[in-house]
Amino acid sequence: MLDYHLHLWPHEDAETWLSIDQIADYCEEAAKHGVVEVALTEHLHRFTQAADIVGKFWEKSDDNPAVQESIANYFDHHARSDLDAYVELASEAKRQGLPVKIGMEVDYYQGQMEEVGTLLSQYPFDVLLGSVHWIGAWQFDDVKNPVVMEQWDARDVDACWEAYTGAMEELAATKTCDVLAHPDLIKCAGRIPENPTEWWDRLAEAAKNSGMAAELSSAGWRNLAHEQYPAVPLLERFIAHGVPMTTASDAHRVDRVAERMEDLQRLASSSGLTSLASFENRQRVDIDLEGL
């Protein structure tokens, strides 16, 4: 199996010391679960180079001041690390023979992905994950934040799914990234439309049309979704559309690396998935699932 979504920082930490030992511990834990490759995919918004490019994007939204202040505080807390140092650490891990891919989780910035892509092109990434974590200034997946949850109570669920799907379609169309991460993340608060079929169809079409892979992730089992990303009907649509798939834990600490990977393997096999997408220098190589 593959774990193609790993972070070096816990969510609550602004930054930590980067070390080869930490990455080696991640690889050791992954191997216990039959994982042969891991991808380090820290959030792009952690790095000052990205903050310099995207700026205070939340000020362009029409969200209320409390929502804008919430994400402004989030960026002030997190955007403190150096992208060059992160990439050099991951590169050194590869040079030392660890089964590591150099990656990044790239948030969607409306109207700014060309500039983001130009920044990322300067680095030797193996794989880039594309994610939508906010709608306007509303960081909808920060479910421990009372300001975020107040918005979930105030907003129409169908409208939230519509806005999220539209953002994912726009992200996919830019072809800035290689994999759609946690593709139905919008269910993270447990708010799911009575009939999400339309949005499942559109997400699958967006992946197919972009040529991107999609991610099968155990992270949803840890939150209010209480199921993997994506839901089985969306996973089946991806497979039917020939969308390549990766597997992931979205771990932010070593004890969650490759979490429930065995469950993901069973789900992948039962859904008819026969291969996983590996990446090197942003070129995809399909690996037989049975061989893994």
Instruction: For the chain, list the domains and their CATH numbers.
Output: 2-288 (3.20.20.140)
DSSP calls for 157-179? HHHHHHHHHHHHHHHHHHT--SE
Look at residue 16 in the predicted model and tell me its pLDDT.
66
* pTM exceeding 0.85: yes
Q: How far is CA 25 from CA 8, 249, 260, 262, in A?
A: 11, 15, 18, 19
Torsion of CA 11, 123, 109, 169, to 10 degrees: -100
| Average pLDDT per 10 consecutive residues for the chain, totaling 292 residues | 93 75 97 97 94 92 94 90 95 97 97 96 98 97 94 97 98 97 98 97 98 98 95 98 98 96 96 96 94 72
Query: Looking at residue 12, what is its pLDDT?
Result: 74
First-to-last alpha carbon distance for the chain, in angstroms, is: 5
